[in-house]
Chains A and B, each alone.
Chain A
Amino acid sequence: MKTFIVNALLVITALLTVMPLVWMISASLMPTGEATLFPPRFLPSAPTIAHYRELFTRMNFGRSFTNSMIIAAAITLFSLFLNSMAGYAFAKLRFSGRDRLFNLLVAALVIPTQVGMLPLFLILKSVHLVNSYWGVIFPSMATIFGIFLIRQFMLSIPDDLLDAARIDGAGEFRIYWSIVMPLARPVLVTLAIFMFMSAWNDFMWPLIVLTDSARYTLPVAVANLVGEHVQDTELMMASSVLTVLPVLILFLALQRHYIAGIMVGSVKG
């Protein structure tokens, strides 16, 4: 009996959880107007990809998709290098004031990013980076969370291994690149997924810094589309699917690594 209740609850909540996503996909495939019929229908009568086609041909969503891809890929790549270097230094290199500096950084995690957005915009404007990919990429190339994630993982790499390499005459960069980085592969995968997803899903900063619609990332393009095509339910759903599906697929493919990252993040409450 208890088994039945537990599993029934699991199934019901799972259905409720996926319902909005399933409806999103279903409505995106409905012929125009079908999502706003009364009484509402849940499945398309004749599935069509017309709305996706319209997004790419008339709404310039291919451009936004490419923008999102370029920005998220660049942020992921840069942040892998910068965060792993800093995280390595905090975990394995001995220098005075190391732990104090690290704790200071971690304390800064409570500062909401919005606090700095106004001056950041003015700074980027003064160096002509507003409305450019770099305006979005630069601020995310290194993050406190990323450094924290890498450091926690690299603490477990034995010092003896690095010292042995030093005695063999290996330079510090060589040690980082050919000994530490291969060992850190699991956490690098985790960080890569994290960075890609947060860059892909980010909204507020791209909304502020990308002023020209040719530069819009997908979330900004979708928010813009709501303003103009709010009546066009099926088209809106297609734009949502296009935005959500890539990260959802990425998550389903690599969820083990992603969830491992959350665990590391929560260890040091």
Chain B
Amino acid sequence: MGPGAGDVAMNERRAAILFLAPGLAIILLFFLLPVGASLLLSITDFDIYALADVHNVRVIAFRNYSQLLGDALFWKALGNTLYFAAVGGPLTVIVSLAMALLVNAKTARWKPLFRTIYFAPVVTTVVAVAVVWKYLYHPKFGLFNRGLELLHIPPIDFLGDPHWAMPAIILLSIWKNFGYTMIIFVAALQAIPEELYEAARIDGANAIQQFRHVTLPMLGPTFVFVGIITAIGFLQLFPEPYVMTGGGPVNATLSVVMLMYEQGFKFWKMGYAAAVAFLLFLVIGLATLLQLKAQKARV
């Protein structure tokens, strides 16, 4: 007789623990534990003196949070970040859906080539392409203003004008990100059974009606998934303003993550910065919940 069923189960359990241990230890030690510690850090006055000597740390309960909520700069950063996500996120989704429909069209040629081209910006390094776009937006030599000139529109100082700086960063982000969601939409579109369209055509539905009553409803779950990952990504805005504007002009592109970085790693007000990080977490959690709720309400 071979090993009993009990022995095998025991062996598997022991093996599972050994297989999981290294990976989970890394995630626990370098991700989950710091996240928990961040909550603790946020109720202390950890600053540059504490960095030199830990004995200087005092617990100050929610003073960081109350101070933060009274800080105009925080509200500015939060407003900017929400603006960036609320405008840039949906625009990215719309552009990527439009491009997915286009790439997926029966009459489209060279589909793999176009898909590759649209996807290319996704794999590029944000910092590097942000530098490229910084020059494209140059008020005098940039190609964008060259294009405006051909249309007889006076030049715009995109990154120097507080009204234009955020829209400029949004346009860059759409360019950088739409390929990713496009690929997800293409897969979802291809999964819609052809019979549904046939049935709709028999009922006399035209192309637009087919899109509204077949395509859109069938894409429902995809919209939720894409909406959530886009929102999470956009709410973490950091490298673009860091490289292109430094958060300016007059804080017009200062994001929550950038505020956290500056408070925490430039001024070493780490307790205060941890409070910023936690409020960001809260905002991202809320955005995720809202979208899940919206999905449930529709079904």
State whether A17 touches B175 (Cβ < 8 A): yes
Which chain B positions have C-beta within 8 A of A120? Answer: 30, 34
| CB of B37 to closest CB in A, whole Å | 4
Contact residues of B: prevailing secondary structure: helix
In chain A, positions 197-229 with a C-beta closer than 8 Å to chain B are 197, 200-201, 203-204, 208, 218-220, 222-223, 226
State whether A36 touches B16 (Cβ < 8 A): no
A244 touches B (CB below 8 Å): yes
State whether A142 touches B27 (Cβ < 8 A): yes
Q: How large is the interface on B (under 10, 10 to 19, 20 to 34, 35 or more residues)?
A: 35 or more
| CB of B103 to closest CB in A, whole Å | 7
> Given the interface contacts A6-B108, A118-B273, A120-B34, does A40 sit within 8 Å of B146 by beta carbon?
yes
State whether A266 touches B225 (Cβ < 8 A): yes
State whether A7 touches B108 (Cβ < 8 A): yes
State whether A116 touches B141 (Cβ < 8 A): no
| CB of B232 to closest CB in A, whole Å | 6
State whether A14 touches B281 (Cβ < 8 A): no
Name 22 A/B residue pairs within 8 A (Cβ), A-sorted.
A6-B102, A7-B109, A20-B133, A21-B121, A21-B132, A27-B135, A39-B146, A89-B16, A93-B15, A93-B16, A94-B9, A111-B281, A113-B31, A114-B257, A114-B280, A119-B38, A123-B37, A172-B11, A201-B124, A203-B127, A239-B128, A251-B120
Residues of B within 8 A of A (CB): 2, 8-9, 11-13, 15-20, 22-24, 26-27, 30-35, 37-38, 40-41, 99, 102-103, 105, 107-110, 114, 116-121, 123-129, 131-136, 138, 140-143, 146, 175, 180, 183-184, 187, 221-222, 224-226, 228, 232, 235-236, 238-239, 242-243, 257, 260-261, 264-265, 270, 273-274, 277-278, 280-281, 284-285, 288
Known: A7-B109, A14-B114, A203-B238. 11 other contacts (CB 8 A): A6-B107, A17-B121, A21-B121, A35-B141, A40-B142, A116-B32, A119-B34, A122-B270, A139-B30, A172-B19, A237-B132
